[in-house]
Amino acid sequence: MNLSKSRINLKSKEIGDGRKSLYLDYYKDGKRIRESLRLYLLPEINRNAATENKAVMREAEEIRRRRIEELTAGESGIEIDAAAMPDIPLAKVIKDYHDLILNGGDKSTANNIMGMYRAVVAYRGDDVMLSAVDAGYCDGLVDFLRDEYHSVHGKLKMTTARAYIYLFSGALNMAVESGLIVRNPLFFVKIHDRITRERPEKQYLTFDEIKLLMETQCPVISRPQVKQAYLFSIFTGLTAFDIVNLRWKDLKTPPGGKLSVRCQSRNIFIPLSSNALRWLPETSNHRGLIFKGLPKDTETNNILKLWQKKSGIEKRLNFTLARNTFAFLILSTGADVATFCSFLGIASKHAKGYLAMIDRKPAPMDEKLKALQLD
């Protein structure tokens, strides 16, 4: 029985912060299944995000192929005589896969396949026959990539190990399509929970680094809006999009409350501390854009780079760092998770990465925090 690919659909859903969660949607034994892949697409605001999304989609498609193979194997009931199939070196299968990808114009993936090939050779040599590549072989390869293998650059990162496994699976899928093996043995090996995707720690500016920025003059005097906007972002958590589009009419004082700023991207209001108010431009014309004259992204980033160098701070200044710093400041006040999430406009399930930035034990506000006037 042939199983149409349309029976297993790869879908996505919005989960906040512009990200999308990938899942498989299919029916099995008459029951609809929505299987989360725990893979996420990022907003493609730069080339790195687009590259990451491309790798994630390849991984998701590979998982979908494995599910198709699983259902096909379960429904067909057909036994194939594996002993009657031709046997060739595994190295030839991988090199043929490399040539196929390279001839298709994907030089980057082809280079990664050669990296995977070197890892496979380091695992059990270059004379392994395809018939010897069973579930046991694949299971050991997963452990080897995770725990032991060192490339010329050092110990393999988990993201690279995952990429190598899925490229290896791609080579085995080609062998299936070529009639060299019955099915991909990696299908029988648990991978997801053994090689986890690395989540880099969120960077933020320390109290001393914030004070250093506040005290350091922005090197481009004709563009004071850059320093004002960046420090305002640090004390409000507004994204670059919100900062660029922020208008005076977005500042409001609710009944019985304090002056707050509307975050357009999340439709929330954030109370303004005295330090946030300090970095609002001085003007008698409270109409239109607040940071009027803020240069385009490229020029802003260049000015931030010069300002960073002048201040002596080693961290690269960008608005993601500013937002993370705001999160750090909120957590430093001892705010509970619910309050913290309300300030950032995120669901509690997305708070984990931020919470790792700070010791969560309740503590009184220290002198450095008081000096920053985060009230």
Give the model's pLDDT for residue 57: 87
Amino acid at 291: F
Give the model's pLDDT for residue 79: 43
Give the model's pLDDT for residue 6: 42
DSSP-derived secondary structure letter, 296: P
Per cent of the chain over pLDDT 70 is 86
> Average pLDDT over the chain, rounded to whole?
84
Give the model's pLDDT for residue 71: 66
Fold (topology level) of 207-371:
hpI Integrase; Chain A (1.10.443)
At residue 314 the predicted structure's pLDDT band, cuts being 50, 70 and 90, is very high
Which segment, 134-138, 145-149, 305-309, is predicted with the most confidence on average?
Answer: 305-309
Residue ranges matching CATH 1.10.443.10 in the chain: 207-371
In this prediction, residues 144-156 reach a mean pLDDT of 87
In this prediction, residues 310-336 reach a mean pLDDT of 92
Q: How far apart are CA 127 and CA 143, in angstroms?
A: 20
In this prediction, residues 340-356 reach a mean pLDDT of 84
Structure tokens at 71: 């259902």
Q: Among 121-125, 200-204, 331-335, 343-347, whose mean pLDDT is lowest?
A: 200-204
pLDDT tens per residue, range 49-84: 788 888 888 888 878 877 776 666 555 443 444 555
Over 60: is that where the pLDDT of 18 sits?
Answer: yes
Give the model's pLDDT for residue 337: 87
Q: Are 105 and 152 in contact (CB under 8 A)?
A: no
Over 80: is that where the pLDDT of 1 sits?
Answer: no
Over 80: is that where the pLDDT of 270 sits?
Answer: yes
Beta bridge partner(s), residue 32: 27
Over 80: is that where the pLDDT of 45 sits?
Answer: no
Q: Select from 34, 33, 7 the least CA-distant residue to 22.
A: 34
Give the model's pLDDT for residue 362: 43
Which segment, 200-209, 260-269, 322-331, is predicted with the most confidence on average?
Answer: 322-331
Residue 3 vs residue 175, higher pLDDT: 175
Q: How far apart are CA 248 and CA 261, in angstroms?
A: 9
Give the model's pLDDT for residue 267: 84
At CB < 8 A and 24+ separation, what contacts does 274-282 make? 274/373, 274/375, 275/231, 275/235, 275/372, 275/373, 275/374, 276/232, 276/235, 276/236, 278/231, 279/227, 279/228, 279/229, 279/231, 279/232, 279/235, 280/228, 280/232, 281/224, 281/225, 281/228
Give the model's pLDDT for residue 73: 57
Fold (topology level) of 85-198:
DNA polymerase; domain 1 (1.10.150)
In this prediction, residues 280-308 reach a mean pLDDT of 91
Residue ranges matching CATH 1.10.150 in the chain: 85-198
CB neighbour list of residue 293: distance below 8 Å, 6 or more residues apart: 223, 225
At residue 207 the predicted structure's pLDDT band, cuts being 50, 70 and 90, is very high
Q: Are 107 and 101 in contact (CB under 8 A)?
A: no
In this prediction, residues 213-229 reach a mean pLDDT of 93
Over 80: is that where the pLDDT of 372 sits?
Answer: no
At residue 350 the predicted structure's pLDDT band, cuts being 50, 70 and 90, is confident
Over 50: is that where the pLDDT of 328 sits?
Answer: yes
Over 90: is that where the pLDDT of 114 sits?
Answer: yes
